[in-house]
Structure 1
Amino acid sequence: MKGTKVAVVGSGISGAVCASSLARNGLSVTLFESARGPGGRMSQRRENVEDGKELLFDHGAPFFTANNTEVLSLVHEWESKGLAAIWKEKFGSFDRTSNKFVDLEQEGLISKRYLGIPGMNSVCRALCREPGVESKFGTSVGRLEWLEDQNLWSLIGLDGQNLGQFKGVVATDKNIVSPRFTSVTGKPLPLDLKLFPELAVKLNDIPVRPCFALMIAFAEPLTSIPFKGFSIKNSEVLSWAHCDSSKPGRSTSSERWVLHSTMEYAQRIIAQTGLQKLSDATLTKVAEELFQELQSLGLNISQPFFKKAHRWGSAFPATSIAREEKCLWDGNKRFAICGDFCVSPDVEGAIVSGLAAASKLSEVFSCL
């Protein structure tokens, strides 16, 4: 098994954990990621303002929880390496109808919230650099071909470039395996689902919950808000808000917040604009509407010196297609599909699925 070449497509937490686990089991892993860096919805957004100041935002998942034994073991390992820490700030809930906050700790609704240090993508970045993992960022897989006569997978880039041949493949990117997302790219699905008729039924339509993220920065702390993170009830526009600069390992030179819209608000905007790349004018309008909703909560919010919206069109799945199996697997072709859309729509679900896919692939090669 040692040195057997396998490919992992996608460097979100599911793909990064899977690649690391495969490498630790002696496989030679090549990880392909179309973006410039790892993380997926755990990525960190870097923005520059006019005075040259750099602002960093965890604009996807603000934190993650862990209850699964295997996941907790990994998290404790990351903590020991300084890659993760617990976010110990108080969290609340704000009711738009009563205009009142509720302390979630007093309500008994508390669990440990873990963070990547110094950014949510730090864990993925470290895993993608582990021995045995070769990461190729800015590399999009345009086609996955099964070579029956050679019993191998051939990966082709969008430009037709030969990306290599592999004994096994793990796909973690929904854009690779689900027909729903070809309408966004306008390109054919990279994977021929006729190769996997049983899996194709589950992959045919993976529903997602779109949302918009608003990144805002203030020169002074928002002292009128008693919590560093809070969900928002009975709002048609906002679902939650978190103070990014209150997290361990982050710069405190400004107060930075990330807000997420409701799914309904995002769907309304997408119905008007479609799924193509949004114009700056549309994103500016969205940013203003989300901020106006925050101001309307009556929390005495000052004007930020930075304000920018980002659309998450397909990052948050609305269903779990392999809850029992934890990943989709074809042993004959040594092909696995994993991600939060397999187990549960959160970071922990993505990790569990990535570990399951690595286990399947490692097991089949240990028998050869």
Structure 2
Amino acid sequence: MIAPAEERGLRIAVIGAGLSGLAAARMLADQRHRVSLFEKSRGCGGRAATRRATQPSGETLHFDHGAQYFTARDPRFQRCVQTWAERGLVAPWDGRIGAFDGDGFTPAGQETTRWVGEPGMSALGRALAEGLDVRLETRVRPPRWCRGRWQLSDEAGQELGRFERVVVSAPAPQSAELLMDAPRLAAQAACVDYTPCWTLMLGFAAPVPLAFDGVFVNQGPLRWIARDSSKPGRSVPAGNSPGDAVGGSSVGPAAEQAAGSTGRGDCWVLHAEPGWTRKHLNDAREEVEAAMLAAFAALVEMAGGALPAITWRQSHSWLYSLVETPLEEGCLWDPALGIGACGDWCNGARVEDAWLSGEALAGRILAAMASG
């Protein structure tokens, strides 16, 4: 699109600042609509998220604890990614990828181009939200249809405004709740299932002796492991820390001394297998971390090495990690009510699917306006 389709801009609310919500918001704002983006967390990007941690040496490590990377297969999304690359928002990850089948390691997927945000996956969400009216840490109640408009309020009951169109961009179970005044759409969202995922982030005093930077694990409690410090722009030397590291657990004075002597650490992200996560979803965090760490140590031992001293550790549980049963609808839209939903759960299970779903819903809104 090269020009606005309409002279009069609508007031449009987008609930959720994941990549699908950002895609819809950007397209609608580019068409001069008055878009307000509401996000319950502290940042934009959803599962394209990054944690930062400071090593005892002062080095800053970046952990992509949600989406590890993304691919671009659809020509429309390829054009987006190329634009992001030219802006310095993303870069190819040339890490060595392998697979573990229980007996040994083999190379895997070398022909695939894997893209990552730079210097972290969350950088993409922050950049795409620039210039938009974004209200973070705002949890929205289900929108209510009132006198031809959608009334929004936060969980405290404070009014957020009345809108002519609403875009819901949240995991399917949450979208089903937000769509209660659009029962047909709510019923479709309620049919979608997710797998949960325990994630463990680890900082080490020295590089982990493993020949691969990412491994698909096909046995045991782990599903995926990745050396995030091998991704472009991830490791910041001591003295150049941006100063916004998040808290984690430091592991003893000996580990701190080792980290200070090497000057360069290593950071890894471990994702647990979905079935194992379901079984242990409510276990004590310390027990989960110990089991995942033991499985990782066993993998490194299989490769003939041992884990270096751990200098930083933190876990995170993703309740809505991977979509099991995507609708393959592209997006959901009710033209009579002027409300719709988008997300990877509408279109597939990849970052690409989330972005294309958001663009699809924005296109439905624009097309409905053009047809009167």
TM above 0.5, yes or no, is yes
Residue number among 18, 24, 35 corresponding to 2:30 in the alignment:
24
Match of 1:289 in 2: 291
Question: In 2, are the aligned partners of 1:214 and 1:308 still within 8 Å (CA)?
Answer: yes
CA distance in 2, matches of 1:312, 1:230: 20
Question: In 1, are the aligned partners of 2:185 and 2:340 still within 8 Å (CA)?
Answer: no
CA distance in 2, matches of 1:134, 1:317: 29
Residue number among 265, 272, 290 corresponding to 1:254 in the alignment:
265
Match of 2:142 in 1: 143
Spell out, residue by residue over 1:88-127, the C-alpha distance to the aligned partner (whole angstroms, 9 max, x if none). 122111122x1x111125xxx5211011111101121111
Match of 1:349 in 2: 353
Question: In 2, are the aligned partners of 1:283 and 1:308 still within 8 Å (CA)?
Answer: no
Structure 1 residue 242 corresponds to structure 2 residue 226: yes
CA distance in 1, matches of 2:206, 2:59: 15
Q: How has the CA–CA distance of structure 1 residues 198 and 3 changed in structure 2, closer, same or farther, with 3 Å as cutoff?
A: closer
Spell out, residue by residue over 1:242-278, the C-alpha distance to the aligned partner (whole angstroms, 9 max, x if none). 11111111115421100100001111013x55xxxxx
TM (normalized to structure 2)? Answer: 0.85
Task: Give the CA RMSD over aligned residues.
Answer: 1.8
Structure 1 residue 229 corresponds to structure 2 residue 214: yes
Structure 1 residue 119 corresponds to structure 2 residue 107: no
CA distance in 2, matches of 1:154, 1:328: 20
Identity over the aligned pairs, expressed in percent?
33
SS in 2 for 1:17: helix
- Superposed displacement of residue 128, structure 1: 1.0
CA distance in 2, matches of 1:89, 1:160: 48
CA distance in 2, matches of 1:303, 1:37: 32
Q: Which amino acid aligns with 2:44?
A: P
Structure 1 residue 366 corresponds to structure 2 residue 370: yes
CA distance in 2, matches of 1:55, 1:72: 29
Question: In 1, are the aligned partners of 2:59 and 2:235 still within 8 Å (CA)?
Answer: no
Q: How has the CA–CA distance of structure 1 residues 338 and 15 changed in structure 2, closer, same or farther, with 3 Å as cutoff?
A: same
Q: How has the CA–CA distance of structure 1 residues 290 and 336 changed in structure 2, closer, same or farther, with 3 Å as cutoff?
A: same
CA distance in 2, matches of 1:202, 1:3: 29
Match of 2:11 in 1: 5
CA distance in 1, matches of 2:206, 2:309: 10
TM (normalized to structure 1)? Answer: 0.86
Gaps of 5+ in 2: 1-5, 237-263
- Superposed displacement of residue 47, structure 1: 3.7
Match of 1:58 in 2: 64
Match of 2:259 in 1: none
Question: In 1, are the aligned partners of 2:195 and 2:274 still within 8 Å (CA)?
Answer: yes
Q: Which amino acid aligns with 1:201?
A: A
The count of residues paired between Structure 1 and Structure 2 equals: 334
SS in 2 for 1:138: coil
Gaps of 5+ in 1: 179-188, 274-281
Residue number among 174, 179, 189 corresponding to 1:191 in the alignment:
179
SS in 2 for 1:319: coil
- Superposed displacement of residue 52, structure 1: 6.7
SS in 1 for 2:347: coil
